[in-house]
């Protein structure tokens, strides 16, 4: 059976992360941005998932004082619905909580049903909207927050 590994992202992952982004987002981040995030941003934690040595997904968070700002979660289109995003989120949130960061926030498109369901299953709740946030189509962003007192760390 193919085993999934979740581990901290390293510089050697940057190219594959940037490629994955082109498959997942309308406005993907560049390799340079990922390199900066992974190697130079002291506030950032990035995780990657691997199956048989191939990168299948990543997730990132910025620790801003006592808040975790989740930057992105992405899973390769061929590898979805296998629990990879759930595994990445579990480790990401656990890492935040272990560092005393009990509240996490993120932005998501209201049309992104898959991501919304994922986040809600971890206890994220809608807390506001940023009008016209996404430049590609002018879609609003939902702002979601999760409070570490919520007992849903493990999802489901």
Ligand X SMILES: CC(C)(COP(=O)(O)OP(=O)(O)OC[C@H]1O[C@@H](n2cnc3c(N)ncnc32)[C@H](O)[C@@H]1OP(=O)(O)O)[C@@H](O)C(=O)NCCC(=O)NCCS
How many residues of this chain interact with ligand X, rule: CB under 6 A?
20
Span interacting with ligand X, options 8-16, 60-68, 84-92, 124-132, rule CB under 6 A:
84-92
Least separation, in Å, of the C-beta of 139 and ligand X? 12
Residue 115 is a binding residue for ligand X (CB under 6 A): yes
Span interacting with ligand X, options 11-19, 32-40, 73-81, 93-101, rule CB under 6 A:
73-81
Alpha-carbon gap, residue 81 to 83, rounded angstroms: 6
Least separation, in Å, of the C-beta of 61 and ligand X? 13
Name the percent of the chain in helix, strand, coil, to the closest 5. 35, 35, 35
Q: How far is CA 55 from the centre of its chain?
A: 15
Q: How many CB atoms lie within 10 A of CB 112?
A: 14
Least separation, in Å, of the C-beta of 134 and ligand X? 10
Residue 55 is a binding residue for ligand X (CB under 6 A): no
Sheet holding 4-8, edge to edge: 4-8, 44-51, 54-64, 67-75, 103-108, 141-147, 125-130
Binding-site ranges for ligand X (CB under 6 A) = 24, 72-75, 80-86, 108, 112-115, 117-118, 121
């Amino acid at each position: 059976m193919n085993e999934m590994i979740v581990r901290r992202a390293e510089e050697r992952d940057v190219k594959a992360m940037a490629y994955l982004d082109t498959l997942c987002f309308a406005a993907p981040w560049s390799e340079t941005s990922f390199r900066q995030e992974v190697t130079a941003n002291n506030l950032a934690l990035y995780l990657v998932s691997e199956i048989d040595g191939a990168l299948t997904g990543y997730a990132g968070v910025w620790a801003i004082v006592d808040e975790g700002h989740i930057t992105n979660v992405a899973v390769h289109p061929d590898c979805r619905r296998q629990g990879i995003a759930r595994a990445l989120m579990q480790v990401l949130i656990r890492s935040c909580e272990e560092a005393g960061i009990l509240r996490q926030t993120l932005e998501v498109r209201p049309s992104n049903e898959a991501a919304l369901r994922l986040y809600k299953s971890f206890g994220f709740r809608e807390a506001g909207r940023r009008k016209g946030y996404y430049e590609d189509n002018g879609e609003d962003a939902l702002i979601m927050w999760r409070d570490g007192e919520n007992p849903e760390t493990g999802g489901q």
